[in-house]
Each structure stands twice: as C-alpha cells, then as structure tokens.
Structure 1
Amino acid sequence: MKQKNETVLLTGASQGIGYAVLERLLVEGYKVVATDRCIDALETKLDDFKRTYGDQLDYYAIDLLDPRLAQQVAQLCREYQFDHFVSCAGVLSIGNVHSMAAEDIKQMFDINTFGALTMIQQVAEGMKHRQSGSIVVIGSNSANTPRLNIGAYAASKSALHMLVKCCALELAEYGIRCNIVSPGSTRTEMQTQLWHDDYGEQQVIEGNLEQYRLGIPLSRIAEPADIAKSVLFLLSDAASQITMHDLRVDGGATLDN
C-alpha cells in the first residue's frame, strides 16, 4: 500500500496515536505536514524523523482552540496541496457528566469536535477543487457505548462521528472519502491516566461489571501502531470504495456495537 508524492496534513503529531501515524506515513513514503499545539514538543519529538525523512516532513504549531484556527489552516492549504487529512488531536477530562464543570465539557467539544470540524472544512475546500482526497478522523469506541467517568469525552466523539459521516455524504460527489477509526483501550497517555494502583491493564482486558464495562475478547490492549495501520489502510487506494465508515479497532471490546 505504499504511496508516493502524496501530502498529508496531520494533527496531534507529537504523541500517542498521532506520533505512530506520523511514523507509518513517513515509512510509506508520504510527505507529511505535522501539527500540534506546542512547537517545542514537535521539534523535540520529531527531531529524529527530520534527520531521516527531511524532504518528507514539515511541522507547524496549530492550536485547535486558537480563534485564528480557520485562517491558519487556510494558509497551510494555500502553501500545500493536501491529498489527505488525518485528525488525531484530542483531549480527555475525567469526571461525571452530571457534575463536571461546564467549561471543561466545552473545552473537550471545542477541541475534539469543533476543532476537528474546522480542519475538515478548510482542507475539504482544496480537495473539492481537485475532485479527490481522503479524510480519516480518530474517533472512539466510546462514541457508541456509554462509559462511566468519560461521558463528556464520549459525547464529543459521538458528535464528531456524525459530523464526519455527514461530511462524507456531502463530499462524495467531489470524490472525497471521509472515514473514522475508533480505537478502544490503547497504550497511550490518555489511556494510562485512567489507571491507578488497583486498576490497570489487566482489569481493562478482563472487564469490570461494577463499571458496566466488557473486557477485550482479543485479550490485549491495542498499541498505537495498531491504530496507525488502520489509518493507513483507509487513506490508501486499497480503501478506494470505502467512505462514511467507522472502523472499530478495539479488540472486540464493544462487540462492534
């Protein structure tokens, strides 16, 4: 599935799933414009990639909460002709929906939902003119399954899923595909912050009836590379007839609900 001479805009590139996606894109020969909200983090984390893949990699600080986001992305789209967009940036605040501060819930929606949508809107304009393109958004298997302690996050991802599917329907006439990759429990900082002394990886795998949570039938936590491989598939010509799809990558944890 190697691709050449195609350019990808990537958010959330400095860690977790975004970092794994960046690595796979570079290995497969894509040119990548990597973004994250902190330029220092990008420069530090991507230094080795820059030495190895210098001609394939550029990076910029993009904060999804910046009120100038649309203008910044529009400028990038004028400088680069993006064949693909991969949205990996996201945040998770832990707490009960009924008691969480409204500003914390709003921030998750501003980043996870509206920030991603603004990126899609700007990138799609250039793709429409070229009558081609593919967009892959990292969602979550919690978007379809209620969870304790992460309800606001799940709601922000659920709204994102529907927006992406509707964009897929609207953009199909321009030859643009829009798909979702929905990870389950994945070995990232976002996941491990949920673990504590008496609750960790093995408990996630086994499930927890007290939290109304199934286990993982494949009996392992996903690695960021597992998610990255799914993203690369949906970007590639191997998925040329796939759009509006939610690809669940959770080891069966939500029984494909």
Structure 2
Amino acid sequence: MPVLVSGGARGMGAAIAREVIEQGGQVVLADVLEKEGQDLADSLGSAASFIHLDVTQETSWERAVSHAQDRFGQLGGLVNNAGILLEGRVETTTPEQWQRTIAVNQLGVFLGMKAAVKAMRSAGGGSIVNISSTAGMTGFTDCFAYVASKWAVRGMTKAAALELAQYGIRVNSVHPGDTMTDMIAGAVASSGAVTTHDQIPLGRYALPSDISKLVLFLLSAESSYISGAEHVIDGAVTAGTPAH
C-alpha cells in the first residue's frame, strides 16, 4: 500500500517511512527539507520517493498526491505528520506565532485529508493517520498555540472518520508524549519545557520507532475496524488525567 508521509524527511516522519519500507510497502516522503528528504528516499531504494511539500498550500498537496499516484499507481495511506512547536503562553504568543502554528499543524492536516480523499476513493479505500500529541488530550503551559492546534487535529479526525467511512476510508489520530525528535531536542535546549524521565511512569522518552510501529498498525488491514479513535502513546504519563 503506497503511503504519503508529510514531514517525512527526519524525526518521526523518517521513522514511519522506514517502517513502511521494512514492512514491504511503498512511501512518498513529502517535506520542505529537500536535501534531507531526497537523501533519505535515495537510501530507502526504489520503493521510496521524495517530493517537496508545503503543507499550508493546497496546490502543493495536490501535486504530492498526484506524484504518489503517478509513481506507485494509487494512494492507500496518508500520515499527516508535519508539525511545528513555537513556545509561548496565552499572554505572550503573538498573532504571527499563532497563525504560523495553526497553518502548519491544523490547516496542513485539513488540506492533506482533503487532497487524499479522491485518490483513496478511487483506490477503494484507505487509512489516514493524523499525528496529534498528548497536548491534544490535556492542557500544557508555555505552548498555547500548539495545544490549540493539536486539540483541533483530534476533533478533525473524528469528524473526518464519520464523513469518510462510507468510502472505506478510516481516520485515526496518534497522540505521542515526549519523543526524541529534533523538535523535542530543541525544546529541551531552549527551556527544558518537556517531561523529565522521572515524571514518566515507564521511565524514558519515546523513540520515533515506538510511534512508527503504532502508525503502521493503523495503516494496515489489521486495524480494519478502528476509525475515529485517538491512540495515546506516552509511557502512561496521561493515564491519571481525567478523560475529556
């Protein structure tokens, strides 16, 4: 099943792309990071391809989906993984920071789903996995816009799951806790505003490969009756948080 992964050049997206290839699939890595994305695609072989993608632009998404169809014949899976974290509290976040965060993390997911629907309908169905966060399950300080965007991803996932079920398209969200990616490493370096190991019941941060295995399950036929659900993978950090 050909899968399109946004933000696929590094971090969690790269781990998902590698997992797709290891499981015998085909992957289109889509990212603004052209050299990193192309180098990764080249290293993964003929079952991988790279295309430049600005997730905030509808025409860019349309080109990426068409590229997947041209290269691999159809599109069966989409992973909306691209995201940014701009730190700021409610009283310090600027309108520009807010708009940039919403454009990438929320608008980008919407445009990705919209672009994929026609291709998945023609393929007879498909699976969309939207990468949210534990910040889409509860509140966090110092990342006001990010929290808002990740709650939106959770809601959009549920609405899309209801609308697209008739076409055999499943939609789920994945909510990782702190995962050792460049984005989290940057947050640690700038302010240390992440969960520490002693605050995680399982005693460690997630690895990108931990997340990729869950994503591959949700993309696969093994999860054929799972749709509209949020899947938390955080080492039990939010296990004691009341349900919303």
TM-score using structure 2 length: 0.91
SS at structure 2 position matched to 1:194? helix
Residue 94 of structure 2 is aligned to residue 110 of structure 1: no
SS at structure 2 position matched to 1:114? helix
SS at structure 2 position matched to 1:68? helix
Paired residue for 1:231? 215
Paired residue for 1:212? none
CA contact under 8 A between 2:69 and 2:75: conserved in structure 1?
no
CA contact under 8 A between 2:58 and 2:111: conserved in structure 1?
no
Task: State the distance in 2 between where 1:45 and 1:71 align.
Answer: 22
Structure 1 residue 128: Cα displacement? 2.1
Amino acid paired to 1:204: T
Structure 1 residue 163: Cα displacement? 0.7
Cα displacement string for residues 38-84 of structure 1 (whole angstroms, at most 9, x for unaligned residues): 222212343322xxx22x11110111133633442453365241011
Cα displacement string for residues 126-184 of structure 1 (whole angstroms, at most 9, x for unaligned residues): 22234311111111011121111112101101111101110001011111110111100
Aligned length: 239
Task: State the distance in 1 between where 2:162 and 2:197 align.
Answer: 36
SS at structure 2 position matched to 1:35? strand
SS at structure 2 position matched to 1:46? helix
Task: State the distance in 2 between where 1:96 and 1:199 align.
Answer: 15
Structure 1 residue 15: Cα displacement? 0.9
Residue from 51, 63, 85 that aligns with 1:60:
51
Paired residue for 2:36? 41
SS at structure 2 position matched to 1:95? coil
Question: What pairs up with 1:125-136 in 2 under 5 angstroms?
Answer: 125-136=118-129
CA contact under 8 A between 2:174 and 2:233: conserved in structure 1?
yes
Cα displacement string for residues 221-245 of structure 1 (whole angstroms, at most 9, x for unaligned residues): 1000000000011111111110001
Residues 93/199 of structure 1: CA separation in 2 closer, same or farther (3 Å cut):
closer
Amino acid paired to 1:221: Y
Where in structure 1 do 4 or more consecutive aligned residues deviate above 6 Å? none
Paired residue for 2:3? 8
Consecutive unaligned residues of structure 1, counting only runs of 5 or more, are 1-5, 207-214
Task: State the distance in 1 between where 2:190 and 2:107 align.
Answer: 35
Amino acid paired to 2:12: I
Cα displacement string for residues 75-103 of structure 1 (whole angstroms, at most 9, x for unaligned residues): 33652410111111111101112211111
Task: State the distance in 2 between where 1:186 and 1:145 align.
Answer: 17
Consecutive unaligned residues of structure 2, counting only runs of 5 or more, are none
Residue 204 of structure 2 is aligned to residue 220 of structure 1: yes
Task: State the distance in 1 between where 2:86 and 2:124 align.
Answer: 38
Structure 1 residue 34: Cα displacement? 1.1
Worse-superposed segment, 20-29 or 70-79: 70-79
Worse-superposed segment, 191-200 or 174-183: 191-200
C-alpha RMSD of matched pairs (Å): 2.0
Determine which structure has more spread, i.e. the larger CA radius of gyration.
1
Task: State the distance in 2 between where 1:155 and 1:39 align.
Answer: 29
Question: What pairs up with 1:155-194 in 2 under 5 angstroms?
Answer: 155-194=148-187
Amino acid paired to 1:224: P
TM-score using structure 1 length: 0.87
Task: State the distance in 2 between where 1:97 and 1:190 align.
Answer: 21
Residues 167/67 of structure 1: CA separation in 2 closer, same or farther (3 Å cut):
closer
